[in-house]
Amino acid sequence: MSAEPRSLTYREGLNAAMAEELRRDETVLLLGEDIADPFGGSYKTTRGLSDEFGAERVRNTPISEEAIVGAALGCALTGLRPVAEVMYVDFMTLCMDMVVNQAAQIRYMSGGQVRVPMVVRTQGGAGRSSAAQHAKSLEAWFCHVPGLKVVMPSTPRDALGLLKASIRDDNPVIFLEHKLLLLDPYAETVPDGDHVVPLGVADVKRMGTDVTVIATSRMVRLALAVADELAESGVSVEVVDPRTLVPLDEEAILASVRKTNRAVVVHEGFERNGFGAEVAALIGNRAFDDLDAPVERVAGANAPIPFSPVLENAVIPNEARIRAGIEKVLGGL
């Protein structure tokens, strides 16, 4: 492992995480559709890995999402640490039995006999006119399922460190990337050596005092931009990135809200019964007396994702809507 300071994009962070874990632990393997070289994955996240680690450990599969995740599970139950890739989170609809009835529950159903160390990597999110079957953000479903951990990195550093932690975790982890972040050329320096970000620890991406914004994945970036903007008008926004939605660092969220007394939850998934509902319910229950205004949600509209950029832009949160949400909880600036 390199000890040089490295500057990585989000995609490179993920790639490095897998390379490092494949190198470190011979029980790690990757499987998924079109992940092998020379193609290297539909978002090129696994590029170079089958060349380096061979086609046995980095395996292209048929288009069989249920068998991919089922095979990963069979591996996980018998001594390996598989990392399955499901190309789009929308395709998780094809393997929900394996994820939910099987992987998430086998430890429990067997009375704790077994560990289930597996990761399902997938990517979601809109912003590329990918339309209704290639652009959802279904984290809320996975958060609802006991036995799953749910991870959503927003930065290259977190992408690297959280994926490494996920691969080392002994539970099924749903690892949700964002397609626009995968394409983002933004790079940042990552710590030397073995950079692991523990699951279950939120990160305050920006400190502030007037309002707490809890944001996930790409929405963290947008929230930070809005925070910069508002700083100019003297509003101090704290941006909390849970990073792992399950286990959720409730205390970090509550601590921030108890300080700012106002909260906005921002995510890209559909609003109704989305992740924001859980966070709003949590805050409303546990920080009831601390709240000076209702918790606002800024989320994906309750509509499928349309194709046209004009329409797509109307249904996913953007900076203007985030700003409006913040202004609303601040009582209108």
Partner 1 sequence: MRPDPASLGLPPADLLHMHRKMWAIRAFEERAIELFTAGELPGFLHSQIGQEATCVGTCAALDPEDWITSTHRGHGDIIAKGGRLDRMMAELYGRETGYCRGKGGSMHLFDFGLGILGANGIVGAGLPIAVGAALSARLRGTAQVSVSFFGDGASNEGAFHEALNLASTWQLPVVFVCQNNEYAESTPRRVQQAIADIATRGAAYGVPGVVVDGMDVLAVREVVSAAVERGRDGGGPTLVEAKTYRFYGHYVGDPGVYRPSEEVEAWKQRDPIRLFEARLAEAGVLGREEADQVEAEVRQEVDDAVEFARASPEPDPASAFEDVYA
Ligand X SMILES: Cc1ncc(C[n+]2csc(CCOP(=O)(O)OP(=O)(O)O)c2C)c(N)n1
Q: Does 327 bind a copy of itself (CB under 8 A)?
A: no
Q: Are 145 and 104 in contact (CB under 8 A)?
A: yes
Q: For ligand X, which stretch binds (CB under 6 A), given 87-95, 171-179, 245-253, 255-263?
A: 87-95
CA distance 88 to 127: 14
Peptide bond into 294 cis (omega under 30): no
Residue with Cβ nearer partner 1 (48 or 304): 304
| Separation in Å, CA 329 to CA 24, 102, 199, 297 | 47, 42, 30, 10
Q: Are 141 and 95 in contact (CB under 8 A)?
A: no
Mutual angle of helices 10-24 and 156-168, in 10-degree steps: 30
Q: Are 295 and 285 in contact (CB under 8 A)?
A: no
Minimum distance, C-beta of residue 145 to partner 1, in the bound complex (Å): 10
Q: Which residue is nearest to ligand X (CB)?
A: 91
Q: Does 313 bind a copy of itself (CB under 8 A)?
A: no
| Catalytic residue flag (residue 65) | yes
Binding characters for ligand X, 3-42, by CB under 6 A (x = yes): ------------------------------x---------
Q: Are 268 and 219 in contact (CB under 8 A)?
A: yes
- Residue 267 φ then ψ, to 5°: -150, 165
Minimum distance, C-beta of residue 64 to partner 1, in the bound complex (Å): 4
First to last CA, the chain: 50
Residue with Cβ nearer a copy of itself (37 or 250): 250
Residue with Cβ nearer ligand X (77 or 95): 95
Q: Which does 143 bind (CB under 5 to 8 A by kind): ligand X, partner 1, a copy of itself, none?
A: a copy of itself
Interface residue list for a copy of itself (CB under 8 A): 90-94, 96-97, 99-101, 104-105, 108-109, 131-133, 138, 140-141, 143-147, 246, 269-270, 272-278, 280-281, 283-286, 288, 291, 293-297, 301-304, 306
